């Protein structure tokens, strides 16, 4: 597991360095809706990550947001979001990340979320705790709803956004405040780090969640998935958020 983590870190750092050489012209295509974009740099980052994985571990499987898909012969599969927060990247706003997880039959074994523009490298090994730039992480707990700083995000598809409006409105009068930072992976790592108290969002994909979920759990948070809805927070607030959002 240590070797897998070291490899995942070195690949995430290489992808982050590539992405920081941001071209002045970004070409975009759209995906699930007109506002869901992919740039040439999402594709270049995924290509670099896949090449590095396969040169070190040719029998591993891969699931990548931009289409990398390869069955595993070794029992290990890498789950990649080559840029989480493409909209931030497109606008040159800090906070986007590279998310890399490795899973086996029992779930995620290693998670790395690298956000170079905010100098954060979040890492975890299953059963081994969570870290930011080598420092151990612990989520905030117990936090009451009326003191909670909550991160969230909004889906690119209108039908899901409509449901998110109802959730957003339900909580806004009862919490300290919201933050919408632009990378779900970083938001969930920020729960791990106590930079926010909680997080929820609808419509996350496996590559948004895999690495950050392990990091948050290893920092003591509860991360639960209810259909399309993901909730992450320390145990006390997680119970309250679940009660409100699943009501």
Residues that bind Ca ion (CB under 5 A): 65, 81, 83-84, 208
Residue 19 binds to ligand IPD (criterion: CB under 6 A): no
Residue whose CB is less far from ligand IPD, 31 or 138 = 31
Residue 117 binds to ligand IPD (criterion: CB under 6 A): no
Residues 184-223 that bind ligand IPD (CB under 6 A): 184, 201, 203, 208
Residue whose CB is less far from ligand IPD, 54 or 160 = 160
**What single DSSP character describes residue 200?**
E
Separation CA 48–CA 53 (nearest Å): 9
What is the nearest approach in angstroms of ligand IPD to the Cβ of residue 89?
Answer: 8
Residue 178 binds to ligand IPD (criterion: CB under 6 A): no
Residue 86 binds to ligand IPD (criterion: CB under 6 A): yes
Residue of 108, 93, 101, 50 whose CA lies nearest to 181:
93
Stretch that binds ligand IPD, among 14-22, 47-55, 149-157, 234-242 (CB under 6 A): 149-157
Contacts of 13 (CB under 8 A, 6+ apart): 114, 121
Q: Is the peptide bond before 142 cis (omega within 30 degrees of 0)?
A: yes
Q: How many residues does the chain have?
A: 247
Count CA within 13 A, CB hemisphere, residue 236.
Answer: 11
What is the nearest approach in angstroms of ligand IPD to the Cβ of residue 40?
Answer: 15
Residue 101 binds to ligand IPD (criterion: CB under 6 A): no
Stretch that binds ligand IPD, among 103-111, 112-120, 137-145, 176-184 (CB under 6 A): 176-184
Q: Where are the alpha helices (DSSP H) in the chain?
A: 2-20, 40-56, 86-91, 158-172, 184-193, 206-218, 235-245
Number of H helices, E strands in the chain: 7, 15
Residue of this chain nearest to ligand IPD (CB atom): 153
The residues of the shown chain that bind ligand IPD, judged by CB under 6 A, are: 81, 84-86, 153-155, 182-184, 201, 203, 208
């Amino acid at each position: 597991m240590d070797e897998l983590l070291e490899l995942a870190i070195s690949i995430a750092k290489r992808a982050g360095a590539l992405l920081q050489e941001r071209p002045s012209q970004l070409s975009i295509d759209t995906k699930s809706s007109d506002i869901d974009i992919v740039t040439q740099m999402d594709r270049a980052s995924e290509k670099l990550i896949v090449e590095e994985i396969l040169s070190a571990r040719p029998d591993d499987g891969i699931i990548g947001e931009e289409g990398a898909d390869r069955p595993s012969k070794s029992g290990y599969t890498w789950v990649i979001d080559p840029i989480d927060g493409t909209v931030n990247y497109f606008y040159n706003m800090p906070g986007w990340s590279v998310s890399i997880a490795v899973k086996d039959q029992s779930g995620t074994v290693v998670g790395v979320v690298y956000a170079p523009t905010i100098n954060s490298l979040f890492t975890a090994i299953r059963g081994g705790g969570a870290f930011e730039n080598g420092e151990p992480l612990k989520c905030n707990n117990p936090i009451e709803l009326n003191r909670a700083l909550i991160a969230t995000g909004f889906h690119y598809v209108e039908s899901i956004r409509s449901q998110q409006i109802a959730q957003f409105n339900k909580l806004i009068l009862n919490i300290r405040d919201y933050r919408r930072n632009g990378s779900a992976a970083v938001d969930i790592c920020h729960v791990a780090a106590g930079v926010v108290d909680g997080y929820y969002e609808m419509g996350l994909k496996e590559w948004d969640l895999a690495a950050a979920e392990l990091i948050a759990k290893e920092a003591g948070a509860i991360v639960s998935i209810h259909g399309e809805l993901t909730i992450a927070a320390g145990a006390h607030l997680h119970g309250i958020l679940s009660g409100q959002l699943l009501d």
